[in-house]
Structure formats: C-alpha cells, structure tokens
Amino acid sequence: MNVQVRPQRDQWTGLLQRPELDNTKLEASVKKILQDVKEKGDEAIFHYTQQFDGIAINRLQASQQEINEAISTLPDDLKNAIQLAANNITAFHKKQLSVPEVIETMPGVLCWRKSIGIEKVGLYIPGGSAPLFSTILMLAIPAKLAGCKEIILCSPPGKDGKLHPAILYAAQLTGITKVFKTGGVQAIAAMAFGTASIPKTYKIFGPGNQYVTCAKQLVQQYGVAIDMPAGPSEVCVIADDSCVPAFVAADLLSQAEHGPDSQVLLVSPSEEVVKNVQQELKKQLAVLPRKELAEKALQNSKAIIAKDMQEAVELVNTYAAEHLILSCENDEAIAELIMNAGSIFLGNYSPESVGDYASGTNHTLPTNGYARMYSGVSVDSFVKKVTYQKLTKEGLHQIGKAVELMAEAEGLEAHKNAVTIRMK
C-alpha cells in the first residue's frame, strides 16, 4: 500500500481516485454482442458461450433434474449456512415492507401511495473465479418480498457445462422462477431483449466484470432499468489506536482478493497503526490462495495518515466508500458523522465479511463514489411506488377553485375545464 502522511486537502481528489480503465474499445465490443443477441437470440448466446467460455451447450435453461442432482451433492453444513443467511436476510428485509397510509390532505381529498412489485426482474450472478451464490440471497429474497412475479437468473456455467451446486441450491431456496446457464454480456443482452429461451425482463440486477457493467449501462438506452452503476469492489477502514491491526489487515485483504481492480483504503490519525497494519498485511498475504490478485489490488491502494479523527472522517466522506469499517473508539458517534457510504461496520468485531454473507443487510452496494447519491439494494429496489387520489364531490369543490386558477395562469384551458365541468 502507498502511504501518504497528512496530505493537503487540495491533494485529496488525486489520492482518492479509483483505478480508471479505458472503456473505448470495451464499449465497441459490448455493443456488438448486444446487437447480435438482439437480432439472433439464442443462436448468438450459444456462439458467445463457446467463444468466451469454451463451452458448447445446446440448452440454456437448467432442468429440474439437473438442479436436484446438483443440490444432492452439496454438503449439509453449507446448506445450513446458506439457510441461516437466508433467514437473517429475510428478517432484515421484511421490515422494509410498508403498508399504504391514506392521507386526507383536505376534507374530501384522499391521497395514498402503494408499492407494487416489478413484474419481471433478471438477476446476474457471476460464476467465474468465484461463484457468488450469496448474491442470489441478496437479490432474490427482497425481490420475492416485493412481490415480483417472474424472477429469472443467469450465471455462466463451468467447464463441465454446469452451474455450481450452491448457486442452484440458493436459487431454489429463494424461489427463483427460471435458471439459465449463460454469462457475460450475452446474459445481460438476453435479459434486456428476450430470446426464444430467456424472457425479457424490466430491470436487471447483479454485479459483474467491466464487460457486464458496461452492458448493463448500455441496455438502459433500450428502456431497461438496472439496479445501480457499479464498479470494482472496495473497502475503507478508519482505524485508531484501539484497533486490532491483524483484524484491520484481514478486512483490507478480504476486499483486495476480489481482483486486481479492487481498491482498499486505510485512514488513520496514527502512524503506528498504519505501520502495524502494513506488517500484518505482509504476514497474512503470504498464505492467501488468491495472493496474486490481492497483491495487484494493494498496488492500487493507499494508507493515509490524517491529522486527526475529524480530518479522517472528512476524508472518508469525500471518498464515499462501498464498505466502511470503523475500527475505532466511539464508533457509534463517529458513524453519525458519516454522510457517504454504502454500508457501515462498527467496532472491532464487525468484519465486512458478515455483511457480505449473513448478518442480514444487503451486500449489493454502490461503488466508485456513487454512495454519495445511491443506496444499496433493498425491497424498494424491486418495487414501483404508485400514487392514488380519490376526491368526493365536496372535496372537488374544496380544491377546485385553486386548480382552475393555476391552470388558467399556465394557459392550460382544458385542464381548467376538466375541473369546471364537474363543479357545474
């Protein structure tokens, strides 16, 4: 990690810059794949699965027999762990459901708002170097609670042409409608446009590499919604003298192992803390199976020694991290000062990993600074909020004159007349 000692405020922007990629060529190739799938459907998906994954498949949907056989191979202890996580995620997200409240804004004028589940949603689950079955829980559970009628899932198959058993178990556990064996840009295109096998969806959720992210952003031009802009995973840790350096190093590495474009950031008012964490990083990195990926991520990462805790908080608010860990005294008081973060983990015994898997909060979060204006996925992400109003005859007479005057002032005579004709 690159260590910066008490940088001046005018240096912050450069220091907190995420790794940037030149997307010019990437976007051109993504557009071509999107267009091919739009025009050729399943044929294009088979072609690109062969080209990019080296797998020849002739059926996209996973059969129930295939699902049952895969699930039977999954160890019971892992099934139990997934079930525990699903229970916690359900408990947390169920409390996000709201009951419509009718507001009488004036006598005889009733207004309310109701949440209606998006009918068709598509979930993208990466399955390359790490099959992210935990993301199925994070997306399918709130989708089901929201009342989405059709929830489909796309995930790239392994070299044997099959999906990881844990992906299929999580899909069945959460009530996903259909599971398809395809990944990458072609999967996003299929869910955006629809093919003979894969239904068109109205909103697409889920993480992915830079190609998947680019595809999600581009399909918005065709009237398809996405969960949020997304980039590589990231974590920021504020640590003071009360932290346990080994814990902090472990948290930093838990994000660094995602891939070379991930970024981790350590902010501390203590030079001693940064020094001790650096030593722990070397020790723990040496035995990591994904050591090479983590090492590359650490090259893009920084440890910043702040003047004091107040400056550390200001710096972190400027960064707007996806995950923010407060390994410091008065963590709850400091958390109240944080304005920009996707999810916050308080104290020495709240590793970011628990939020990734099983505490109950959602791990699908805004990255790349989007935590300044975006929230993580919740039940709200899977609903539309429709407003209603009902007026009695007396209610219309109460409000009618004001509407007539406003419509007339805007030069919209037909708007005025829609009220006047009823008033008469």
Annotated binding site for substrate: 233, 255, 258, 323, 356, 410, 415
Structure tokens, 329: 């005294």
The alpha-helical segments, DSSP class H, found in 174-209 are: 184-193
Structure tokens, 96: 């996000």
CA-based diameter of the chain, in Å? 83
DSSP letters of 262-331?
-EEEEEES-HHHHHHHHHHHHHHHTT-TTHHHHHHHHHT-EEEE-SSHHHHHHHHHHH-EEEEEEESTTH
Residues annotated as part of the active site: 322-323
CA nearest 175: which of 277, 67, 21, 81? 67
Report the binding-site residues for NAD(+): 124, 186, 209
**In 10 A of CB 115, how many CB atoms?**
18
Query: Contact, 308 vs 327, CB < 8 A?
Result: no
Report the binding-site residues for Zn(2+): 255, 258, 356, 415
Strand partners, 343: 323
DSSP state of 137: H
220-249 per-residue burial string, b: 16 or more CB within 10 A, e: under 16:
eeeebbbbbebbbbbbbbbbbeebebebbb
Report the binding-site residues: 124, 186, 209, 233, 255, 258, 323, 356, 410, 415
Between CA 279 and CA 285 the distance in angstroms is 10
Structure tokens, 25: 């060529």
Contacts of 13 (CB under 8 A, 6+ apart): none
Between CA 76 and CA 56 the distance in angstroms is 31
DSSP letters of 11-59?
GHHHHTPPP----HHHHHHHHHHHHHHHHHTHHHHHHHHHHHH----S-
**In 10 A of CB 264, how many CB atoms?**
28
245-256 helix and 291-299 helix, angle to the nearest 10 degrees = 100
